[in-house]
Amino acid sequence: MSYADFQNEVYLKGLFGEQPTQPFGWRETEAAAYEAMTPGAVGYVAGGAGGEDTMRANREAFDRWRLVPRMLRGIPAQRTHQTTVLGTTMPAPVMLAPVGVLEIVHPEAELAVARAAAAAGLTMIVSTASSNTIEDVAAQAPDASRWYQLYWPADRDLAASFVRRAEAAQYEAVVVTLDTWQLGWRPRDLSQAYLPFLKAQGVANYFSDPVFRQGLDKTPEEDEGPAVLKFVGLFNNPTLTWDDIAFLRDHTSLPLVLKGIQHPDDVRKAREIGVQAIVCSNHGGRQVDGAIGSLDALPGVVEAAGDLPVLFDSGIRTGADACKALALGASAVLLGRPWVHGLALGGEQGVHHVLRSFLADLDLQAGLAGHSSTSELSPASLQRIG
């Protein structure tokens, strides 16, 4: 069975009177999700930094590249898109981007997402700022592949503890987010004075960590106020440098991936210090306003990376988007907001619906453009129009 067969399943069910309960277009899904969410959650999920110019730049960058379909190439009906990144085998070059504080979207938060990702066979990257612990998320799908995303706190021992816990819970790589050592200026959140961390949301990994709990007069369960204040004092860490990556390497045997890189010189530095992969990303436009769109940065990043795998994040909405990023050299793409919208609409089932829809779209786009596999995509598959 191919991913594209999902559309046949939908049409056949319709023949017998069963209509879909969720939309398929990403704009319709987004709109329905925001109707279902609280105003604070909408601002947090939908918003970006400043005037949200970087968010717009992410989407506009995709419009400047167009697929050029090729005909009569004997494309098989059952296509395969399997790939391997850092030893993680994937049925398609798609991963779930790390997104934190999911309890503001759905009460089952990461637990529902982990089950849905496992059902689709996709690797979930679990955020440090998750609403459930590293261990509890892993327990939802013990046999599934998963990576861990690290927000590096201002306490090195705490950072090392997070990574040790991820390794013990059989996460397969550590993704270090570089661009969020301090929260960006986010007017949507500011207008509602909404920061869920201050309500002890998205802090499960901190509150459960033995290093974090040291020095608290009372446990977070007994008195969460001081624990929240301690979290606030630890989250920001503007002093990080390239030398800190060496410290992290000494505390884990897992592959290290650096997320948030867009400049070729930073790519070259990452290669020098021996990381295993990078993620070309601007955090979905949530950090630096007026920054370059991720897809515009991707060709230069890929060129500088050489044989270093480059994953792509920021702005992916459709199968066509994924095809464009893969054609420009990405080893895999990270899907973010779309599955969060699915979570808001239907929990585990909602996420699974979005993932199946995205994979079907990707399969069809690649096949109809004349490729038996997404691995055949290259810059020759595209034309730049602007």
Domains of the chain in start order, with CATH, are: 26-69+79-371 (3.20.20.70)
Task: Tell me the mean pLDDT in the region 146-166.
Answer: 97
pLDDT of 28: 98
- The yes-or-no verdict on residue 1 having pLDDT over 90 is no
Question: Among residues 81, 106, 251, 283, which one is catalytic?
Answer: 283
- Distances in whole angstroms, Cα of residue 81 to Cα of each of 225, 252, 361, 367, 375: 48, 30, 13, 11, 7
324-345 pLDDT, tens digit each: 999 999 999 999 999 999 999 9
Strand 65-67 to strand 382-384: parallel, antiparallel, or no bridges (unpaired)?
A: antiparallel
Provide CB contacts within 8 A for 8, sequence distance 6+: none
pLDDT of 170: 98
- The yes-or-no verdict on residue 386 having pLDDT over 90 is no
223-256 pLDDT, tens digit each: 999 999 999 999 999 999 999 998 998 899 999 9
Task: Tell me the mean pLDDT in the region 109-117.
Answer: 98
Provide CB contacts within 8 A for 36, sequence distance 6+: 344, 345
- The yes-or-no verdict on residue 61 having pLDDT over 90 is yes
- Is 283 catalytic? The answer is yes
